[in-house]
Chain A
Amino acid sequence: MSSEIAAGPVEQPQPAVERLHVADLHAPADAILSVRDLNVRFNTENGVVHAVRGVDFDLMPGKTLGIVGESGSGKSVTSLAIMGLLPTTAEVSGSVRLKGKELLGLSDKAMCEYRGNELAMVFQDPLSSLTPVYTVGNQIIEALTIHNPTMSKQAKEARAVQLLAMVGIPSPKERLRAFPHEFSGGMRQRVMIAIAIANNPRVLIADEPTTALDVTIQAQVLEVLHTAQEETGAAVVMITHDLGVVAGMADDIMVMYAGRPVETGAVDDIYYNPRMPYTMGLLGAVPRVDVAEKSSLVPIEGMPPNLIHTPTGCSFAPRCPLASDACLEGEPALAPVAGPAAHRAACIKSGSLGGDVDVHDVFAAPPVPVSRFDAIPREERSTVLQLKDVRKHFPLNKGALLKRRIGTVKAVDGLSFDIREGECFSIVGESGSGKTTTLLEIMEFHKDQDGEVVIGGISNKQAADGKTRSAMRRELQMVFQDPTGALDPRFTVYEVLAEPLENAGMNKADTKKRIMELMKLVGLQPDHVNRFPNQFSGGQRQRIGIARALAVNPKLVVLDEPVSALDVSVQAGVINLLDKLRAELGLSYLLVAHDLSVVRHISNRVAVMYLGKIVEIGEVDRVFDNPRHPYTRALLSAIPVPDPHLERTRERIILQGDLPSPLGTPKGCNFATRCPVFAALPAAKQEKCLTLEPPLEHVAPSPAAQTLAADPLPALDQRFACFFPDGELDEDMLVVHESADHHAP
């Protein structure tokens, strides 16, 4: 049961040694890290879980291996097993060799020789992986001290400064004395990377290094990882659930499912020529930010198998649309497929699959739902939500006893937009841009708010009595980000769904009928109503959340990051469901999301927020295809696309730094501190950006269109707030990866 991911250019004639290794069980002599038949078992209340089942791979020096899979597929456990960081209660077997030396079975003390020295790791959550009571300098120096006891103090300090500079932290000498809380999330992740590469590791394991970060910061951190790899020549194992993130970085991909690798190969083979239905499904389930064409996403039905029972057949068979009886007879081994030698798939039908098979046909993606409102022009539909100049300012106080007001946080600063019937309106932006505050302002619906919120014709200015408020609550419901947190763990599904209905004064018999309707509506089995939320998977829980929101037949549903906590394949199902409900029930959505691909897929209109203000608003295809504001352009270019060719040649705007502190915002345009256009402007024009606030203006139709049309054209549905949208971009902020260091087959 040996497989190897022979890294490197496949089209080159293979050296004899390498060809031998394909047939051989032994690892190639030059592999820096080779894992053979890795198995990990855990004990739980339900029995022994076989979390990793026979993982093999070889990692060549300087190459990047991407491990992709859904949560629970064993990616992180694999990396922890390699690092020897699993709890002692876990049973690990197999072989992990670093430069030919066996790591498994070493004592904790012996492993410390390797950890942080030749093997280093970057964790997912930068907020909790640095000790808050030591300066970052101390923590970097600590990593140096442990493995270089003879190094002088000055040398260590110099090295720490060098490392911080390498990961792109400005004025590294001063920042050495800073504490972790003085750094933002992205900066902390840079420090983590600096610590990881401090001792020039041969292997760097990055476990979802950017999942907790914003897209613009994600682009920065990926860039830093790239530099770090070039500087140290380390081999990188990149663990992620995001197929876009690894597309541009990895040389090889290993797709994991139910604790086993199900497809391995060079990155182009996996993306353009997947041979395993699971990989195909994963690729089809990701919405694309660069594709306007509307098609349903590919949902993978069902849940990953329970690893307590040893699968008798293919572990993906219960969810696979192509499964036949033959699939249930024994688990297919990872076998080479036709084409490049390194490409292997664990599927008995891999021969009939390939790049030319349409994944939508295989997985029977539902047809694109059509709403009855789609045919009606937007202006003729009634308005369900209107915001007029809504503001939310928080005072910023200083001093313990005598509070001095030193500034104002303008979380939401003069927001106006409207949502029509049957429409999905999205708000996008980095965290801290005021998206969630906007939602809360709408949900609070107080009389003394600054600005007017009108929901279904009821204004918050007249919402004095409880009756109007409860009438408004029936128009507007909310779906939360975290499906687990949003459902009371002590309620059965029936009780969860009954709560809003009872509250609306419905009697028992009607409640019961309505609940059965709702369960069917969101695609859950009606006889599951007596279960508790913890008996459902994440996607099903989110469906329950949606059912609860729909219980009282609202016109508008507020969706706060509805799919960000879900796995890709499950996410597709929920997005399709939301799309279907919008069409069938004529719902309107107000969606807040940081994932622009999801936004592009489901919304009609979009607003881009930056520091409490809308910087660009308009029809989604217009804004995404022809972004005018530099911030929108930066956001869009930061989104990784699951397409390796495109990803390698894409021009990327890397924004400098993080969101400015509320005290440091300029008087004029908020974005000036990070703006790539601003940086390249002559001083006279820069002055204008710094002193004047750009208003939201309509995009003029192109001159060509104007000359063609006889009458003056109506303004397009796209507005933006920037003085110099056509300005040159600063070269320092542009990154294009030459394909020199990648060999496309």
Chain B
Amino acid sequence: MTNLNAVDPAAVAQDAHLESADVVIGKNTIIFRRFMRNKTAVAGLAIFLTLTVFSFVGGYFTQWDKQTIDPFNIGMPPSAEHYLGTSQAGIDLYAMTVEGTRISILIGLIVGLVSVLVAAVYGCTMAYFGGKVDKVMLFILEALIMMPALLVVAVATSGGGEGLRRDLPSWLLLIIVLLVFSWMGTARLIRSLSMSLMQRDFVKAAQYMGVPARRIVWRHLVPNIGSLLVLDITRGVTGAILAEVAFSFIGIGIKVPDVSLGVLIGGATSQVQTFPWMFWVPLTVMFLLTGSLAMMNDGLRDAFDPSSSSSGSAKKRTALKARVKGNAS
């Protein structure tokens, strides 16, 4: 609780202003409150944030990096010097996990965000124009859905695309390929959602005012499907992380010397018996990563869904309120 004794004139004015508008709580506030009420989701958010922070600053806690070989500790279990042990090549697992987590989160976030953004603009445009534009864009979309994504990834990252592979790090290449194949489902969903929004009066009002089409799409349609977009971003991030792990596992994703959770898991499967830590550590991190996102997703859905009953019952809440007030005073 903040210190309530200090009187700030600005805050008083703010309060007076809010007094008159106390009927209304900002939608964001409501969403935030509802999210915070879901303990699982908050735990998920905390885990995800911790992992993200860990992936960026974790490297400073050890002198090893993902390339240096420690010839004195080859295939050693966790010890004081190597927190999580070393691989059979003598590389510190802790350093590799930090690096791998970062790459995985990076891939997940970029693919999740950008693909949803592409999907939003694409879907809204389809819905807004309808007719022929819709048909052509829908054809492109269906064609992409039918394309065998696995083969394209395999070709781009291992077979062909020499020039690409020379210029770009393998994780960036994977991001691009994943992006191309990840936005279609969302785009179709957004198309149908926007089509129903198009029937709403405020879109008609804008049309009757003569507002140009692209402005209507960008200013009226995209923001109004925002809650769906947020949900889709978390889902997209999970999907991208899992896809990266899967691709790297079968050897067509991230390439050594780049490290990712998928590469680590894939490389360790054959040695689960001899070097168990090499397998279980990255696997646990991956579970924490995707699991935390799934936990958050549940809370986000509750928070955005206007019909959810997360405000609780009258009886329970009055009691709770009285207790909170008691604590505050």
> With a CB–CB cut-off of 8 A, which chain A residues contact B311?
43-45
> With a CB–CB cut-off of 8 A, which chain A residues contact B205?
478, 480, 486, 545, 548
Given A485-B202, A499-B209: A42 touches B22 (CB 8 Å cut-off): no
Q: Is B131 in contact with chain A by the CB < 8 A criterion?
A: no
Given A306-B22, A306-B23: A488 touches B309 (CB 8 Å cut-off): no
Q: Which of B270-329 contact A (CB under 8 A)?
A: 309, 311-318, 321
Q: Looking across the interface, which residue of chain B has its beta carbon closest to that of A537?
A: B23
Q: Which of B5-13, B24-32, B45-53 contacts A (4 or more CB under 8 A)?
A: B24-32
Q: Is A312 in contact with chain B by the CB < 8 A criterion?
A: no
The docked-state distance in angstroms from the alpha carbon of A90 to that of B315 is: 8
Q: Which of A153-161, A273-281, A410-418, A469-477 contacts B (4 or more CB under 8 A)?
A: A469-477
Given A46-B25, A485-B200, A486-B202: A473 touches B313 (CB 8 Å cut-off): no
Is A473 in contact with B33, judged by CB distance below 8 angstroms? Answer: no
Q: Is B204 in contact with chain A by the CB < 8 A criterion?
A: yes
The docked-state distance in angstroms from the alpha carbon of A481 to that of B209 is: 17
Is B211 in contact with A499, judged by CB distance below 8 angstroms? Answer: yes
Q: Which of A86-111 contact B (CB under 8 A)?
A: 87-91
> With a CB–CB cut-off of 8 A, which chain B residues contact A487?
202
Q: Which of A126-151 contact B (CB under 8 A)?
A: none
Q: Is A534 in contact with chain B by the CB < 8 A criterion?
A: yes
Interface membership of chain B positions 195-210, coded 1 if the CB is closer than 8 angstroms to chain A and 0 otherwise: 0000011101110111
The docked-state distance in angstroms from the alpha carbon of A481 to that of B201 is: 9
Q: Looking across the interface, which residue of chain A has its beta carbon closest to that of B221?
A: A488
Min Cβ gap B37→A in Å is: 10
> With a CB–CB cut-off of 8 A, which chain B residues contact A44?
311
Q: Is A500 in contact with chain B by the CB < 8 A criterion?
A: yes
Interface membership of chain A positions 500-522, coded 1 if the CB is closer than 8 angstroms to chain B and 0 otherwise: 10010000000000000000000
In-complex Cβ contact of B21 among A91, A485, A535, A545 (8 A):
A535
Is B223 in contact with A43, judged by CB distance below 8 angstroms? Answer: no
Given A43-B314, A485-B200, A488-B220: A531 touches B21 (CB 8 Å cut-off): yes
Is A46 in contact with B22, judged by CB distance below 8 angstroms? Answer: yes
Is A473 in contact with B210, judged by CB distance below 8 angstroms? Answer: yes
A interface bracket (residues with beta carbon within 8 Å of B): 35 or more
Q: Looking across the interface, which residue of chain A has its beta carbon closest to that of B313?
A: A89
Q: Looking across the interface, which residue of chain B has its beta carbon closest to that of A309?
A: B22
Q: Is A482 in contact with chain B by the CB < 8 A criterion?
A: yes
Is A490 in contact with B24, judged by CB distance below 8 angstroms? Answer: no
The docked-state distance in angstroms from the alpha carbon of A45 to that of B25 is: 8
Q: Is B224 in contact with chain A by the CB < 8 A criterion?
A: yes
The docked-state distance in angstroms from the alpha carbon of A48 to that of B311 is: 10
Q: Which of B71-130 contact A (CB under 8 A)?
A: none
> With a CB–CB cut-off of 8 A, which chain A residues contact B208?
443, 473, 477-478
Q: How many residues of B contact A (CB 8 A)?
A: 34
Q: Is A41 in contact with chain B by the CB < 8 A criterion?
A: yes
In-complex Cβ contact of A91 among B23, B309, B315 (8 A):
B315
Is B314 in contact with A503, judged by CB distance below 8 angstroms? Answer: no
Q: Looking across the interface, which residue of chain B has its beta carbon closest to that of A536?
A: B24
> With a CB–CB cut-off of 8 A, which chain B residues contact A46?
22-23, 25
The docked-state distance in angstroms from the alpha carbon of A547 to that of B61 is: 62
The docked-state distance in angstroms from the alpha carbon of A48 to that of B317 is: 8
In this complex, which of B26, B210, B315 has the most chain A Cβ atoms within 10 angstroms of its Cβ?
B210
Q: Looking across the interface, which residue of chain A has its beta carbon closest to that of B202?
A: A488
Q: Is A745 in contact with chain B by the CB < 8 A criterion?
A: no
Interface membership of chain A positions 638-660, coded 1 if the CB is closer than 8 angstroms to chain B and 0 otherwise: 00000000000000000000000
Is B314 in contact with A42, judged by CB distance below 8 angstroms? Answer: yes
Interface membership of chain B positions 214-233, coded 1 if the CB is closer than 8 angstroms to chain A and 0 otherwise: 00000110011010000000
> With a CB–CB cut-off of 8 A, which chain B residues contact A47?
321
The docked-state distance in angstroms from the alpha carbon of A218 to that of B27 is: 38
Min Cβ gap B174→A in Å is: 35
Min Cβ gap B176→A in Å is: 32
The docked-state distance in angstroms from the alpha carbon of A216 to that of B278 is: 79
The docked-state distance in angstroms from the alpha carbon of A306 to that of B19 is: 12
> With a CB–CB cut-off of 8 A, which chain A residues contact B25?
45-46
> With a CB–CB cut-off of 8 A, which chain B residues contact A88?
313
Is A485 in contact with B201, judged by CB distance below 8 angstroms? Answer: yes
The docked-state distance in angstroms from the alpha carbon of A458 to that of B22 is: 48
Is B314 in contact with A89, judged by CB distance below 8 angstroms? Answer: yes
In-complex Cβ contact of A488 among B24, B224, B312, B316 (8 A):
B224
Is A91 in contact with B314, judged by CB distance below 8 angstroms? Answer: yes
Is A503 in contact with B315, judged by CB distance below 8 angstroms? Answer: no
The docked-state distance in angstroms from the alpha carbon of A477 to that of B226 is: 29
The docked-state distance in angstroms from the alpha carbon of A46 to that of B311 is: 10
Q: Is A489 in contact with chain B by the CB < 8 A criterion?
A: yes
Q: Looking across the interface, which residue of chain B has its beta carbon closest to that of A89?
A: B313
The docked-state distance in angstroms from the alpha carbon of A619 to that of B131 is: 43
Q: A43-B314, A48-B314, A443-B208 are in contact. List 7 more A-B contacts (CB 8 A).
A: A42-B314, A43-B316, A45-B311, A485-B200, A488-B219, A531-B24, A535-B24
22 pairs, A vs B, C-beta closer than 8 Å: A42-B314, A43-B318, A47-B321, A87-B309, A89-B312, A89-B313, A90-B314, A91-B313, A308-B22, A469-B210, A470-B210, A485-B201, A486-B202, A488-B219, A488-B220, A489-B224, A490-B224, A500-B211, A532-B24, A532-B26, A534-B27, A545-B205
A-B pairs, top 6 by smallest CB distance, nearest first, are: A89-B313, A486-B201, A535-B24, A43-B314, A473-B210, A485-B201
